[in-house]
Amino acid sequence: MVGPYRAVLGVIGNDIHVVALRLLDIALTEVGVETMNIGVNRYLDEFVEAVVTHDAHAVLLSSNNGEAELWCANMRRELARRGKGDIVLYIGGTLQIGLGSDLEIERKFLGMGFDRVYSRRGMPGEVARQLVKDLARKDAGETA
């Protein structure tokens, strides 16, 4: 899987918050990641199909309306079913409505199979640089 790396990114579920998605797309491109931005208001099957079609190395999901758990609870399982279970999987945004610390939210999404969770934090450039590091570690046989 040695670079150039390919990543699918988009906003999951009934969510049309596009600004962070566009900034992340720019940041990933600047660090040499080829992006397939599938846009907003997308669903699990659309992400999985984009990963398979573009032979992506990573998926970056965004959600800003707090419904992420509902829309992507089975993301890792569906990717595995299509032969992409080892893909690097990130999620970020406002991932939950109501109570819950960032640590609790992070634990929940890590438990769902995500490699990195950026709940209400994480600048696009920071996320892009971390993704390249994680992909390079994976190339070297290390864990993230």
Say if CB 62 and CB 9 are below 8 A apart.
yes
- In this predicted model, what pLDDT tens digit does every residue of 89-111 receive, in sequence order? 999 988 887 777 888 999 999 99
Q: How wide is the angle at C-alpha 105 spanned by C-alphas 99 and 110, nearest 5°?
A: 165
Q: Please report which confidence band the pLDDT of residue 141 belongs to, taking 50, 70 and 90 as the band edges.
A: confident
Say if CB 55 and CB 25 are below 8 A apart.
no
Local structure of residue 64 (DSSP, 8 states) = S
pLDDT greater than 70 at residue 144? no
Is 134 catalytic? The answer is no
pLDDT greater than 70 at residue 3? no
- In this predicted model, what pLDDT tens digit does every residue of 16-74 receive, in sequence order? 888 888 999 999 999 999 999 999 999 999 999 999 999 999 999 998 888 888 899 89
CA-CA-CA-CA dihedral for 40, 44, 49, 54, to nearest 10: 60
pLDDT for 19: 87
Is 57 catalytic? The answer is no
Say if CB 40 and CB 11 are below 8 A apart.
yes
Q: Please report which confidence band the pLDDT of residue 1 belongs to, taking 50, 70 and 90 as the band edges.
A: very low
Domains of the chain in start order, with CATH, are 6-139 (3.40.50.280)
Sheet holding 58-63, edge to edge: 34-42, 6-12, 58-63, 88-93, 116-119
**Of residues 15, 25, 115, 134, which has the active-site annotation?**
15
pLDDT for 135: 93
Q: Please report which confidence band the pLDDT of residue 124 belongs to, taking 50, 70 and 90 as the band edges.
A: confident
